Amino acid sequence: MKYAIYVGIVLALGLAIFNLTRIDFSHPFEGDSSIALIGVVACACAALLLLILLLSKRIAEKAKS
């Protein structure tokens, strides 16, 4: 499961970078730029949640031993 979390983090960051390239920074809230902006925020949330899950797994392993 540990490797699946790492893969998820990498995929989320990769999608965030891809969506950052799709944003028109002169008009970020119009058209496809708003969809890309929502995608960046969603990917950042997903990566953050996966990092929290990874940290909680490490804490659980230390509590067992």
Residue with tokens 């540990």: 2
Please report the pLDDT score of residue 28 as a whole number. 87
In this prediction, residue 11 has a pLDDT band, given cuts at 50, 70 and 90, of very high
Give residue-wise pLDDT tens across range 16-35: 999 999 999 999 899 899 99
Q: How far apart are CA 27 and CA 25, in angstroms?
A: 5
The pair phi, psi for residue 50, each rounded to 5°, is -70, -35
Amino acid at position 8, single letter: G
Domain boundaries, the chain: 2-64
